[in-house]
Amino acid sequence: MQRNATTRYPILLVHGLFGFDRIGRFELFHDVKQALRDADCQVFVPQLSAVHDNEVRGQQLLNQIERVLEGTGASKVNLIGHSQGALTCRYAAALEPLKVASVTSVSGPNHGSELADSLRKALVPGRLPEHVAEELATHFAQWISLLSGRPALPQNAVAALNALTTESVGQFNQKYPQGLPSVWGGQGAEQVNGVHYYSWSGTLQADLITNLRPLDPVHGVCRALSSHFVIDEGQNDGFVGRYSSHLGTVIRSDYPFNHLDSLRRSAGLSSVIPDAIDLYTEHALRLQAAGL
């Protein structure tokens, strides 16, 4: 029997880098959105640039929040951001805390990504490799926007990459510190300016059974990218370090998930990997219990 997890305020699912709401019949948050709607939650997926910096995307999110509030009559929203979407949500909550009931970071680089650091070092500003990478990534993002029916949204791949490095996120955090832990690997304040903060994330597991996923190329890519981590060596999901993901109340930061597992069903691996989609329904119940 489906649990009733109706939240007081609507939920907005905020995508990260190269994300989108819908392309044709494919929705990035399909499983998550369906599970939450089955649990009687009111759910929306805002339209944001696929690649841009945190503040540009944050302003876009604020505009979307206004539309949701006007359309639903609600006074606030609950924000759940995946990956860079977590930074986008944090920006919106910092600027308009009276319109945000909660921010939940899912696999969010809240202290930056060592992978972004490695890419930034490899792509020297002004050199040909950076120019080629920028053109390819930006055109890919424009293609995503076109297919999703949002061709007018601005795209800037270099701005997105710069916004995810540990240095840039450090600067971002100085301006918007709400919910951040005071010590590395710790928990942050549960509530700041009336906004509740939560986070969860995963790590690539060392045991053979969990890693035996030959038909999942995304998992292989994440394992290959994990070699770029030093601070969170052996404690990352391929894109984001475990302790970099901490924000507010840390529900758990070592689920056996790679970076994209936290958005999808476990594809027959449920005996090994907890179903990530159930975490969203559980979280809706958590928000419900908190009166959010």
- Please name the helix (run of DSSP H) or strand (run of DSSP E) that holds residue 14, with its range, or none: strand 11-14
Hey, what domains does the chain have and what are their CATH numbers? 11-289 (3.40.50.1820)
| Cβ pair 263, 19 in contact under 8 A | no
Residues that are catalytic: 83, 237, 259
- What is the number of other CB atoms lying within 10 angstroms of the CB of residue 119? 17
| Cβ pair 112, 206 in contact under 8 A | no
Residues 11-56 have pLDDT tens digits of 999 998 755 444 444 456 888 999 999 999 999 999 898 888 999 9
Per-residue pLDDT averaged across 210-215, rounded?
55
* Helix (H) and strand (E) counts in the chain: 10, 9
**What confidence score (pLDDT) does residue 23 get?**
43
To the nearest 10°, the Cα dihedral for 125, 225, 107, 44?
A: 70
**Given pLDDT bands bounded at 50, 70 and 90, which one contains residue 253?**
very high
Report helix, strand or coil for 217.
helix
